[in-house]
Every structure is written in structure tokens, then in C-alpha cells.
Structure 1
Amino acid sequence: MNVRDEWLLDSDPALRWQVERDLLGEPPRVWEGTRGRVGVEGFGARLLASQGVDGQWAGGAYFPKDRPDVQGQPWTATTWSLEALREWGLDAAVLRERGTVELLAGNCRWEYDDLPYWGGEVDCCANGVTVANGAWLGADVSGLVEWFLEHRLPDGGWNCAWVEGSRRSSFHSTLNALKGLLVHDIATGGTDDTRAARQQGQEYLLRRGLYRRLSTGEPVAPWATHLTYPFRWYYNVLNAADYFRQASLHDNTPPDPRMADAMNHIRDARQPDGTWLQGSPHAGQVWFDVDVQAGRPSKWLTLYGARVLAWWEENVV
């Protein structure tokens, strides 16, 4: 075991079990044991303790009930708290035993038009996270899955600005839609329609090399190669590459060579000691910090970066 991996193992169970499984190749009895601790210690336990008796976090769906007067979007509300617990590997049974699905169905409403929580709203990014969270918890999000099929744009992706009439997809919206549909397909087996929608959304990103404008070939924006954790709803090439890694493993398909340039960006961001540095985190109120300040070696980004590069290098000739 190298020094980097020893450093990664000295971490919260939410991160450590993924290092054991994805980087070290430990047998299931090892990483499953670590994963089982997510709900009883560290980040997972702390976030679970913040859930209200009504099933919500901070009393709201996308925003907390009492919005703080601080810079950036607050990340303490229900949608983002569920996303974190899911990505950290919490056993969904923990929240099902609390009746979370039913409590949110009865108590949680979107700030947009007071819509019921599991039915989603009009924002593709919020709906993508909700599809993933609902599929993970076993909620009925079939109507929201159909919403994504109906709101796919002519170029194959999605855009939150469709309500303003946009007919061109965005990187952010498309990735969040794809991530939600993939979790749904993994949980349920998917349908021909959801698989086709994912393929078309993936093609939208792949035709652009994961970060370039189709019209000029220039980088779409600095945020596309800005690496910071947590990802939240924001797009970057590492967030996208990890989606493609998961989709490849689920669909049993090889990596697409059109990702090569983006993978080079990820590789170039790796430091000589094998770590990745934290970028400027997305501003906003949090329950607690789960990663380091900007400029310091990030265990989360190092996990993601090492994992996608290992997948890429093992499967691309």
C-alpha cells in the first residue's frame, strides 16, 4: 500500500469504504463492514441527527425554511442532505425505518408552486437529484422519470431554462438528469425509454468532449475544469467522468474515446504525490465541513480522481 492510500484510509467511513472497494480491491466483508458504519459515526451520523421529526432537513425542500442571509446557496435543506447521505453510502433502510419517504410525501413541498416533493418541480437539476434520492429510498418517482423523458430537448440533453423557452441543453442540467436516471435504472432495471434517454444525454456530452463548445471547440467555461468537492449540482469534468464510469460498469460498455481530452485534464490536475487539490468550494451554508479548504490536498477529489483514472486506464487500449 502506498502513502497516498494510507492517507486516504485515515478518513471518515463515508469515504473510507469507497477507498477500500474501488482503489484497494478489498473483499466485500471489509468494505461492507466500513460502509455499515456510515449511519452510526462520522459525517453520516451527524447529518442523520439533523433530520427533523417531519422528515425534512432545515424545514425545506431545496432551501431551508429560514434562509440565512449569507453568500451563496444554502446546502442544508432536504434535497442536498439526502444527496449527501446517498453518495456517502448510507443504507437506505436507515431512512426507510424512520418513515422518511412517507414523511416527506406528507410534509415536504417545493418552494416552487408548493408542489409535492416526490413529484418534483421545474428545475432539471433539482429533479435529477430527487429521482436519484427517490429511487435509492424506494419512493415512487415514476412520474418524475416520465417528466425527464418528456422534457428532453432536440439536441439530446436537458436545460433548467426550458421554462424560459430554451431549446439548447446545458452541461449542468444534462449531467444531473443523467445521474438521476442512472440511479433509477440501477435500482429498477430501467426501461428502453430511460436507457435511450441516457444514451442521448451521454451523446450530448461526448460530442463536446465533456467540456467544449460544439460550435467552436473552445472550453465552454472555466467551471468545466474547476475541481471542487462537494460537487452539488455543478458540472465539472471529474463529476462527469465519474458518472460515465458508473454508467459503463452498469451498462457493461467500454469508455468512450471522446473522453480522452477531459481525462487528460483530470490526470494533469494530479499532484506529484498522487493527490488532487481542493478548488474553491461552492459558497453557501452547510451543516458541517466534509473536506478541506481551497488549495489543500482533498481526500474526496483524490478518491474520485484516482478511481476514474484507474477505470479509464484499465479499459482503454
Structure 2
Amino acid sequence: MAPELLTWLLDSDPALRWQVERDLAGAPEDVWRATRARVATEGFGARLLALQDPDGQWAGGAFFPAGYQGDEEGQPWTATTWSLSSLRDWGLDAAVLAGTAEKLAANSRWEYEDLPYWDGEVDCCINSWTLANGAWLGVDVSGIAQWFVDHRLPDGGWNCEWVEGSTRSSFHSTLNSLKGLLYYETATEPATGGSDDLRAARREGEEYLLERRLLHRLSTGELIGPWATRFGYPFRWGYSALNALDYFRAAALHDGVGPDPRLADAVGVVRGARRPDGTWLQEGRHPGRVWFEVDVPPGEPSRWLTFYGTRVLDWWDGAGTV
């Protein structure tokens, strides 16, 4: 990596900087861990922590903010599930949120049928974030983990619209489900996360995406949609080649295996989006209310996307995959 590009990436919020130090700069562990600890007291992490409600929630709601009527552009990204997921992704030490899990158990209910927060609900994407966030905060969410085993569709993946009768998996839903399962498996091994059923469900879901080379319809070979090759941060719930490759990198490292050759098409898309200066542009963000912005507007070079893109290509190229 060019020194000026690395310097640019390091000139960032602690939520991103510690990851750049660990995964791109090769910094000693004590260095990146010290930066990671700053997430609780500086920048994005500290700002989001300060917005937590006394009852443990954010914005007064589980998935949507209190009072949300569905009459605004996009979806608000301010409620509890989104805020917890951001803090977890940014590397916040779960100990900083001591007591939050208990407060949510007592005070937070899903907008869907008023279900208890840590029991999950019927949407597999919501359940995936709850599974990961619960494992992070030390909650027993084994029931949600089993839910994914029980609700996997015949073609190997998941679809949030299964409640409406869908029997075909979704790229979006499957990727989100896989991310939740991998986080749970990683966070709870060897105690509970490594069950054969859970590993089998994760690998079947991975195979669903791999059979389609992360980008194509199995029936026709056509591109699944323009959204698959358009990159934006935060990823939210949306599928893209970059988001999927970041998952497969993490899964391969966890499993101790190399990259699957069927990722090559998606790697080519990510490589093709890299600009001559080594950066990736913010191409479009999910619309909706936010607490504050954490990346640049569309059309500008994104540090977050450049970090993810560089990390994925380093992993692929470092394995000598063709």
C-alpha cells in the first residue's frame, strides 16, 4: 500500500483507525488495542454511547424509533438494534455497556407483536443482528441460533419474506444471517457456538451464495441486480459484492481455509471499482434518519470502503488465488 494512502486511512476515527492498524498497517497488538479502547471515549463510539436512553434503548425503540410512522424517506437508523450493531462493528468493548442487556430484557419489545427483545422475532435479518449483539453482550441467545437452523429454506439460505410464503432465499437475507451465525460461533466457541447443526447451516448458506458466484442468478447466470456492484457504507442490511467478500474473508480465517475460487467474479468487481489512487468511492448510502454521519457523501473517496476493499484484495492476493 502506498504510504500516502495508509496515512490517509490512519487519519480517521478510532472506530476505523484500530482496524487499519491491525489489518493493513501491521501494527503491534498493544498499539491497535490502545486505539480500539478509545472507541468508548472519542469520536463515533463516544457520541453514540451518549445517546443511549436511561432504559437501555436508543431512540425509544427496538428496531424503529419511538413514534415512527413510516412516512419519511428511507428507514431511520437510530433505534436500539442499529445502534448496538454499529458499536459492535466499531469494536467497542462490551464491558462498557454493562447492564444494557438486562435493561433491554426488561424494557425493550419488538414492534412485531410486542415480542421480548432477546427472544428475537420472525425477520431473519433482525434475528441475525440480535444474535450477534446478544452474543457480544453475553446474553443466552441460543434460541435465536437454533431459529436459523429451523428456518433455513430448501435451497440453503434464508429470506425475511418467508412469513409471507416465500420459499426462495434472498441474497440480502442470507448474507445477514451468515454474518450473525459467524459472529455467534466465533464469540461463543467452544462453549456453545460450535454445534454441528449451526456449522452445517452456515456452510449451506455459504454454498447458496458460492453457487451463484456471489453475483448471479443460478437459473440464468444474469447479474442479480445493480445493487450487487454498488458500494456504500454503512452496509446496513444491503447486499453487495464487497459486503459479501468481507464476510467470506472472515469465515475463511475463522475456519482456517483459503479463499474459495468461486469468489473470483466478485473479487474482480471490487478490484475494478478501485480508483488509480487506491481509493473506493462512496456510491450510495441507504436513505433515512441517522444520529450523525460516519462517512462521506456519495461521489467522494470513502475511508471505510477503501479499508474494506483493500483488506479483501490483500487477503485474496495474499492467498495466491487466481
State if a TM-score over 0.5 links the two structures.
Answer: yes
Of 287, 290, 310, the residue aligned with 1:306 is 310
Cα deviation, 1:255-301, whole Å, max 9, x if unaligned, reads: 00000010000000000000000011100000000000000000000
Distance in structure 1 (CA, Å) of the matches to 2:233 and 2:215: 18
TM-score norm. by structure 1 comes to 0.98
The question of whether the paired residues in 2 share the 8 Å contact of 1:254 and 1:316 is answered with no
User: How many Å apart are 1:119 and its aligned residue?
Assistant: 0.8
- Is 1:104–2:108 an aligned residue pair? no
Deviations 1:60-105 (A, max 9, x none): 0110002274210000000000010000000011012xx0000000
Look up the equivalent residue of 1:226 and give its one-letter code.
Answer: R
C-alpha distance in 1 between matches for 2:230 and 2:137: 31
Q: Counterpart in 2 of 1:179? A: 179
| Residue 316 (structure 1) shift | 3.2
Alpha-carbon distance between aligned partners in 2 of 1:61 and 1:309, rounded to the nearest angstrom: 36
Q: Decide whether the 8 Å contact of 1:128 with 1:177 is kept in 2.
A: yes
Per-residue CA deviations over 1:219-252 (Å, capped at 9, x if unaligned) read 0011111100000011111110000011111110
After superposition, the C-alpha distances for 1:89-135 in whole angstroms (9 at most, x for unaligned) are 00011012xx0000000100000000000111111111111111111
Letter matched to residue 85 of structure 2 = E
SS in 1 for 2:38: coil
**Is residue 2:230 matched to residue 1:226?**
yes
Aligned counterpart, 2:52: 51
The alpha-carbon deviation at position 141 of structure 1 amounts to 0.7
In the other structure, the counterpart of 1:264 is 268
Question: Superposed, which structure 2 residues align to 1:5-44 within 5 Å?
Answer: 5-44=6-45
The match for 1:155 is: 155
The one-letter amino acid paired with 2:23 is D
Which has the higher mean CA deviation after the structures are superposed, 256-265 or 190-199? 190-199
Partners in 2 of 1:257 and 1:182 — Cα distance?
A: 20
What is the distance in 1 between the residues matched to 2:210 and 2:288? Answer: 31
Q: 1:212, 1:311 → 2: CA distance? A: 23
| 1:61 alignment partner AA | A
Q: Runs (4+) of structure 1 moved beyond 2 Å?
A: none
Q: Name stretches of at least 5 consecutive residues in structure 1 with no aligned partner.
A: none
Partner of 1:137: 137
CA–CA distance in 1 between the matches of 2:145 and 2:218?
28
Q: What is the match of residue 80 of structure 1? A: 82
Corresponding residue for residue 285 of structure 1: 289
User: Which letter does structure 2 place at the counterpart of 1:210?
Assistant: L
Q: Quote the Cα distance in structure 2 between the aligned partners of 1:126 and 1:232.
A: 11
For residue 199 of structure 1, what is the aligned residue in structure 2?
Answer: 203
Q: What is the one-letter code of the residue matched to 1:60? A: G
- The separation in 2 between residues aligned to 1:223 and 1:8, in whole angstroms, is 25
CA distance in 2: counterparts of 1:126 and 1:5, whole angstroms: 35
1:63 matched to 2:67? The reply is no
Give 1:59 shift.
Answer: 0.5
After superposition, give the CA deviation of every residue in 1:1-52 in whole Å (9 maximum; x if it has no partner): 6111100111000000000000011110110000000000000000000000
Counterparts of 2:129 and 2:54, CA distance in 1: 22
Q: Aligned partners of 1:24, 1:139: CA distance in 2, in Å?
A: 34
For the pair 1:254 / 2:258, whether they are aligned, the reply is: yes
Structure 2 CA distance for aligned equivalents of residues 103 and 132 of structure 1: 17
Structure 2: which 5+ residue stretches go unaligned?
none
* Distance in 1, Cα, partners of 2:320 & 2:68: 47
Counterpart of 2:77 in 1: which secondary structure?
coil
Partner-residue secondary structure (3-state), 1:292:
coil
RMSD: 0.9
What code does the residue aligned with 1:254 have? G
In structure 1, what is the Cα distance between the partners aligned to 2:198 and 2:229? Answer: 28
Secondary structure at 1:38's aligned position in 2?
helix
Contact 1:153/1:168 (<8 A) preserved: yes
**Count of paired positions:** 315
